[in-house]
Amino acid sequence: MSRPIVCIVGRPNVGKSTLFNKFAGRRIAITEDTPGVTRDRIYAEAEWLGQYFTIIDTGGLEPENEDIVMSNIRKQADIAIDTADVILFVVDGIDGLTTTDREIGDLLRRSGKNVVLAANKIDTRKTPDEIYEFYELGLGEPMIISSEQSLGLGDLLDELVKYFPEEKDTEANEDTIRVAFIGRPNAGKSSLINHILGEERVIVTDIPGTTRDSIDSHFTVGENDYVFVDTAGLRRKRYISEKVERYSVVRTLTAIDRSDICVVIIDGTMGPTEQDTKIAGYAHDNGKAIILAVNKWDIVDKNDKTYLKFEKDLRETFGFLNYAPILFISAKTGQRVDKLLETINMVNNNYNMRISTGVFNDILNQAVLINQPPSDKGKRAKIYYGTQVSVRPPRFVIFVNSKDLMHFSYVRYLENQIRNHFGFMGTPIKFELREKGE
């Protein structure tokens, strides 16, 4: 599922971060200790009337030092223009229109993007005369809000939601395999994408229409349709600022959200970095299928044991990803790039795999016979039965007598038993325990 993206833009001190915090739901920790990020949260999931979306506070991307304001704001506006489905442009309703506001307004208007203008800090019900100045921006009527007092926020959200793309636009085809290539700058993502798309048997299709589509690469190999998510910048390398880690983090997170399978590209000459593990962790937590690809294998100094050692290191570094296949590739020579596509297909099948309730319960029963569920103070955990409730990723509900008695290590044991039978290579599996009657 791909969530719509709202970016908040505006000069410093207009109340962007206050507004962001009102909208933001679940905390997304990945941005916390990202270098250069000045606020602890710039990226969050939000919800309004059952519509889920991602909200990004572009003001958190750079320190908002008055001297460098305009160049920073220009970068922030660029990111918003490039990433957002709708841009929320915040101005200070008490200060009135400033030169910086005009410059931002120009950038946004010229981009042709959907923009919602909000005049903040109007804490009283009376609308000040300064409001009328904002019509000059040519962005329509400003929404009147107070972030601090939570005034007008419902109407503002209603307005934003109007610009969200229709579900059918983003999920064009259920059978399409949506892949994101993630990894640090220079790992070889562009080279790999260009290598795959440049192959003769790959039929690249340009699907005109939504803005979202134009940033993705659509193509077909044989009977399979693929989308490589958010590759426009990578294909053309127009994104110089992509080289700057903090921007690539935001792009990467949105690409992960919009994909089913994440291929983590690790630079084989450097080994995995902390950023790689964080990003892979985010993909894992969000239930995405994952493949680890070690690139630049052509120039890695190696003997016949190098890959074993590398594999061992990766298994240690990515301990939580014991299900992810590891491949050693070269985007430059094309070594095992075919194999990568095969692996993507295989992982996609696993991500969509359904196990019948009968077979699943046979395995549960067998697992229980081999290794009894834990007990506490004379009371033993009991498994009644289980069933798979969904795919992408596979999710199982297991009915038990007491959730408290089912230690997580036992659930892990059950997962291993299921993986022993079905593999589920490349995909996380989710378990939910329920007590009878729940």
Question: Under the rule (CB under 6 A), what is the footprint of ligand GDP?
Answer: 10, 12-18, 59, 64, 120-121, 123, 146-149, 185-191, 234, 295-296, 298-299, 330-332
The CB-of-239 to ligand GDP minimum distance in angstroms stands at 9
Which residues on adjacent β-strands are paired with residue 293? 265, 327
- The span from the CA of 228 to the CA of 215, in Å, is 9
Nearer to ligand GDP by C-beta: 121 or 258? 121
Nearest to 349 by CA among 321, 312, 391, 384: 391
Residues composing the chain? 438
The CB-of-284 to ligand GDP minimum distance in angstroms stands at 21
Query: Count of H helices and E strands in the chain?
Result: 14, 18
Nearer to ligand GDP by C-beta: 96 or 374? 96
- Dump strand ranges (E) for 81-120: 86-92, 115-120
The CB-of-120 to ligand GDP minimum distance in angstroms stands at 5
In whole angstroms, how far apart are CA 11 and each of 72, 88, 97, 398? 10, 12, 11, 51
Residue entry with tokens 């920790």: 29
Strands 217-221 and 203-205: antiparallel
The CB-of-195 to ligand GDP minimum distance in angstroms stands at 8
Which residues on adjacent β-strands are paired with residue 47? 52
- The span from the CA of 114 to the CA of 352, in Å, is 35
Nearer to ligand GDP by C-beta: 178 or 189? 189
Structure tokens at 326: 């590891």
The CB-of-366 to ligand GDP minimum distance in angstroms stands at 44
Lateral strand order in the sheet of 383-390: 383-390, 395-400, 430-435
Nearer to ligand GDP by C-beta: 258 or 296? 296
Nearer to ligand GDP by C-beta: 148 or 175? 148
The CB-of-37 to ligand GDP minimum distance in angstroms stands at 13
Q: How many other C-beta atoms can be found within 10 angstroms of the C-beta atom of residue 33?
A: 10
Amino acid, single-letter form, for residue 120: N
Nearer to ligand GDP by C-beta: 16 or 212? 16
DSSP state of 372: P
The CB-of-190 to ligand GDP minimum distance in angstroms stands at 3
Nearer to ligand GDP by C-beta: 227 or 265? 265
The CB-of-398 to ligand GDP minimum distance in angstroms stands at 41
The CB-of-162 to ligand GDP minimum distance in angstroms stands at 23
Question: Among the residues of 331-407, which ranges form H helices?
Answer: 337-351, 357-370
Nearer to ligand GDP by C-beta: 42 or 81? 42
Main-chain phi, psi angles of 437, to 5 degrees: 90, -15
Find all residues with CB under 8 Å of 334, minimum gap 6, and list them: 195
Nearer to ligand GDP by C-beta: 147 or 170? 147
Instruction: Count Cα atoms within 13 angstroms, Cβ side, for 321.
Output: 33
